[in-house]
Structure 1
Amino acid sequence: MDRVNVWKSYSKENLEELDRINTLYKACLDEGKTERECVKVTVRMAEERGYKNLRDITKEGQRLHAGDKVYAVCMDKSVVLFHMGEKPLEAGMNILGAHIDSPRIDVKQNPLYENEELAYLDTHYYGGIKKYQWVTLPLAVHGVVVKPDGTRTDICIGEAEEDPVFAVTDLLVHLASKQMEQKASAVIDGEKLDLLFGSRPIEKIEGLEKEEKDAVKKNILRLLKEFYDMEEEDFVSAELEIVPAGRARDCGIDRSMVMAYGQDDRVCAFTSLFALLDVESVEKTACCILVDKEEIGSVGATGMHSRFFENTVAELMALTEGESELKVRRALQNSKMLSSDVSAAYDPMFAECFEKRSAAFFAKGLVFNKFTGSRGKSGSNDANAEYLAEIRRVMDADNVAYQFAELGKVDAGGGGTIAYIMANYGMEVIDSGVAVLCMHAPWEITSKADIYEAYKGYQAFIGKM
């Protein structure tokens, strides 16, 4: 079942729309490099399109009707949006669900130390990374610091042209003979991913002959206090994430691709968001879920395993058809979902890891994965044939380019998504997303054509399923 390269089929109007979507997408990637930033971007864009905070609707005792648009936020790290449909909520929803966390390096709670007059931040990596890929890159620090009195300071250092950047150091090749003999997983130890943060000692106090102990660290603390009103103890109640510094860029002499950090899974998150915001009216309630913690198992209060989504649906039910636990269960079971998550793009440089007939290719459109998991489909949601037929009908009707694929060879490895979690409600779920080269690397690559087809496919799904 060969698929046509969609670049060959685009009209001038298609290309203009493709450029619009990709320009907006790159801007969102630059603005949203952490899950908190993604939620902030999402809420801003949603409110510009008339969405209202569900908390305010509930507080004011208002009812919800067809055409109303609402959103709810969980701890500033997850967000869900609803465009209320003509049909009762009990009839189910058309759901797009993606995650907005990405592999990165996190700063520990007692991180700042000095070693031989170099200051470092101690770290713990987050999600599945090849640790050796994160050394000798320009890195930025994003996050939030919250003081005991509730005062909150947003941190973003390393993105503006005038900002300093940071780095994780590596051993010079001249002395690396033993290092080069190690397995890739052991070349860089996790405890050596500490961030080089400064090297200048604090100025000597006049009249004080004794040298300052940890003078570089003291200078760092002086600067943190001066610019961010931050004490060393404030690291305890901070969430600071280390990400690659720099903007999303066009890739290729033909500008046919996007190279950026965090495209797993923000390429699916933002295209899902765009699709929902652009839909004019829906028969069934349309929903977009953007959640945290997928890269570490969808755990915690802001991950898909939490009750945040279920509780929000219960609130919607109370504001539409009246409080009913049974109707909430029916609404969830009658829903249909695209678990919007990325797939591995076929890479000719590593062809031995792919089974070509079941691989996803650049510029062949939105990728559907009937199942994910690893080896014997372990940890997978396996979509029903009847649902696959429905998906085909809707995509074909709207001229969406799509392909079906698996994540590499059967015994090569594997991966998971949030699909199986939502399937626990009894709803129909299938994984769908954009093919990515260099997945989980600091810089990932996608095809602009696939980004556009994902947007089209997500719109078709929420409007016509």
Structure 2
Amino acid sequence: MTQDVKNQSGTTPVWTRLNDSEKEEVMGLAGEYRQFISAAKTERETIELAVKTAQDRGFVPLEQKDALQPGERVFATWRGKCMALAIVGSEPLEKGINVVGAHVDSPRLDLKPQPLYEEADLAMLKTQYYGGIKKYHWVGIPLALHGVVVKEDGRVLKVVIGERETEPVFTIADLLPHLAREQMEKKMAEGISGEALSILAGGLPVTSNEVREKIKQAVLDYLNREYGVQEEDFISAEIEAVPAWPARDVGVDGSLVGGYGQDDRVSVYTTLKAIADISNPPRTAVALFVDKEEIGSTGNTGMYSTFFTNFVAELAARIVPRYSELVLRRTLASSRAISADVNAGLDPNYPDVMDKLNAARLGHGVVLTKYTGAAGKKGANDAHAEFMGLVRHLFKRHGVAWQNGLLGKVDQGGGGTIAYLLALHGMDVVDCGVPLLGMHSPFEVAHKVDIYMAYRGYRAFLGG
């Protein structure tokens, strides 16, 4: 099977060019992926699941190794929100490493530090939205709460409410159309304010006459009874409201996967599986999972942090006999990277926002995106032609179906990835990922063939 770079109508979907064995692989991988994103709805949950998968596939904590030999498999995490895995290559480290990097965070609603209040005989939770969302997406749907609460004595309590069928869910009630005349005359972005995204949390009061806010107290009593959480503990908590549904097959043929958080956990899953399935690469292979991409890659777990460079430095110190900072700089500058992130697929309902000649189509393979950014390529990495040629050749040699794709028409909007932050080290970088419909919505849609081809593309790159 060969690649299909054309994007115009009339090109054949990849499925028609797969043999029976490959079709079985597509469906099998998609089933595993669906379970992954149903279980990994926060950054911490994603990293926990990635660590378990890595350990099952022979990766050991880097800190347990004083020296490393070709073929050894190691990993490191930081703050429970980012992770790097490596397989040591046979070539000298200074010739460069192959990196595939994805992000583990997704748009959502975070509980504020003091979220709980009572109004109109209902208990409510205040939220702060995280990342680029359409606020109206988050009203009128079932929500679950996921996160951690850190007690004053340092104990970490995990909280998950709303995922089991026997548990209640949460929601944000929408305004009824009978009274929404003024709301519906507003611009879509103004129809629901950020402060109106308060979650319905309870409606039964405690019986005590000594308590003024009886319904709020009933919620606190439940949290204390079930999780040992008191009101002050919200100050040192990270609790996220996410859709309370699992990923599902979409379409009568089951060709698509719909679910929350596919931007960018589809890249996390395919990258994790790719590095787990290779052995003895010539160049050291690194899978990188970072946080905070949706809000600018900030903080000590985002791509702006030193986590990645520290990880490579720790590798180099265990591989190179006479390690120095110069070795680190040479290694990074000689490296190659794929920024594994999703792109927009051509949506039949909204074709006018896309340049059809340069638009990715679902079912046509993984998307190579030469540049992202906005307007005049602001914030773009813009991969060099030589590196684009190298990746094209690699994918062709390994039978990876791929396509060209840009993020919409010029001046229509835009977006970015971690590519430019990897490129700061001097390495060549290109964006490459799965096309989605409904990106940043609570129910994003991907094609199973594209997920499979992302896995094969990342595996070829890491092993090449």
Aligning the two structures, in what range does the TM-score lie when normalised by the shorter sequence?
Answer: over 0.9
Q: Does 1:83 align with 2:83?
A: no
Q: Specify the alignment match of 1:344 in structure 2.
A: 344
Task: Tell me how far apart the structure 2 counterparts of residues 15 and 104 of structure 1 sit (CA, whole Å).
Answer: 34
Task: Tell me how far apart the structure 2 counterparts of residues 383 and 72 of structure 1 sit (CA, whole Å).
Answer: 28
Q: Specify the alignment match of 1:239 in structure 2.
A: 238
Q: Does 1:314 align with 2:339?
A: no
RMSD: 0.9
Deviations along 1:127-157, one digit per CA (max 9) or x if unpaired, are 0000011001000000000111111111111
After TM superposition, give the deviation of residue 15 of structure 1 in Å. Answer: 1.2
Counterparts of residues 106-117 of structure 1 (less than 5 Å): 106-117=110-121
Moved over 6 A (4+): none
After TM superposition, give the deviation of residue 212 of structure 1 in Å. Answer: 3.2
Task: Tell me how far apart the structure 1 counterparts of residues 405 and 118 of structure 2 sit (CA, whole Å).
Answer: 49
Q: Specify the alignment match of 2:227 in structure 1.
A: 228
- Aligned counterpart in structure 2 of residue 92 of structure 1, from 86, 96, 108: 96
Q: Specify the alignment match of 1:157 in structure 2.
A: 161
Counterparts of residues 384-463 of structure 1 (less than 5 Å): 384-463=384-463
**8 Å contact kept, 2:76–2:311:** yes
Deviations along 1:202-257, one digit per CA (max 9) or x if unpaired, are 123xxxxx463100011111111100011100001100000000111000000000
After TM superposition, give the deviation of residue 281 of structure 1 in Å. Answer: 2.1
Counterparts of residues 15-414 of structure 1 (less than 5 Å): 15-57=23-65, 62-204=66-208, 210=209, 212-321=211-320, 322-414=322-414
Aligned letter for 1:237?
Answer: S
Task: Tell me how far apart the structure 1 counterparts of residues 28 and 97 of structure 2 sit (CA, whole Å).
Answer: 28
Task: Tell me how far apart the structure 2 counterparts of residues 297 and 220 of structure 1 sit (CA, whole Å).
Answer: 35
Aligned letter for 2:241?
Answer: I
Task: Tell me how far apart the structure 2 counterparts of residues 151 and 445 of structure 1 sit (CA, whole Å).
Answer: 38
Q: Specify the alignment match of 2:3 in structure 1.
A: none
Deviations along 1:20-57, one digit per CA (max 9) or x if unpaired, are 21111111101110000000000000000110011222
Task: Tell me how far apart the structure 1 counterparts of residues 323 and 231 of structure 2 sit (CA, whole Å).
Answer: 48
Q: What TM-score, normalized by structure 2, do the two folds share?
A: 0.97
Task: Tell me how far apart the structure 1 counterparts of residues 260 and 137 of structure 2 sit (CA, whole Å).
Answer: 13
Question: Residues 212, 150 of structure 1: CA spacing in aligned structure 2 closer, same or farther, 3 A cutoff?
Answer: closer
Unaligned ranges ≥5, structure 1: 205-209
Deviations along 1:255-282, one digit per CA (max 9) or x if unpaired, are 0000000000111111011100011220
Aligned letter for 2:83?
Answer: V
Task: Tell me how far apart the structure 2 counterparts of residues 385 and 338 of structure 1 sit (CA, whole Å).
Answer: 15
Task: Tell me how far apart the structure 1 counterparts of residues 166 and 19 of structure 2 sit (CA, whole Å).
Answer: 41
Task: Tell me how far apart the structure 1 counterparts of residues 346 and 217 of structure 2 sit (CA, whole Å).
Answer: 50
Task: Tell me how far apart the structure 1 counterparts of residues 367 and 439 of structure 2 sit (CA, whole Å).
Answer: 15
After TM superposition, give the deviation of residue 4 of structure 1 in Å. Answer: 2.8
Task: Tell me how far apart the structure 1 counterparts of residues 224 and 463 of structure 2 sit (CA, whole Å).
Answer: 51
Task: Tell me how far apart the structure 1 counterparts of residues 313 and 391 of structure 2 sit (CA, whole Å).
Answer: 27
Aligned letter for 1:108?
Answer: K
Task: Tell me how far apart the structure 1 counterparts of residues 307 and 279 of structure 2 sit (CA, whole Å).
Answer: 26
Task: Tell me how far apart the structure 2 counterparts of residues 243 and 370 of structure 1 sit (CA, whole Å).
Answer: 32
Equivalent residue pairs, number:
455
Task: Tell me how far apart the structure 2 counterparts of residues 199 and 88 of structure 1 sit (CA, whole Å).
Answer: 64
After TM superposition, give the deviation of residue 101 of structure 1 in Å. Answer: 0.2
Aligned letter for 1:257?
Answer: L
Task: Tell me how far apart the structure 2 counterparts of residues 117 and 214 of structure 1 sit (CA, whole Å).
Answer: 9
Task: Tell me how far apart the structure 2 counterparts of residues 111 and 55 of structure 1 sit (CA, whole Å).
Answer: 39
Task: Tell me how far apart the structure 2 counterparts of residues 458 and 39 of structure 1 sit (CA, whole Å).
Answer: 19
Q: What TM-score, normalized by structure 1, do the two folds share?
A: 0.97
Task: Tell me how far apart the structure 2 counterparts of residues 429 and 93 of structure 1 sit (CA, whole Å).
Answer: 12
Task: Tell me how far apart the structure 1 counterparts of residues 309 and 152 of structure 2 sit (CA, whole Å).
Answer: 31
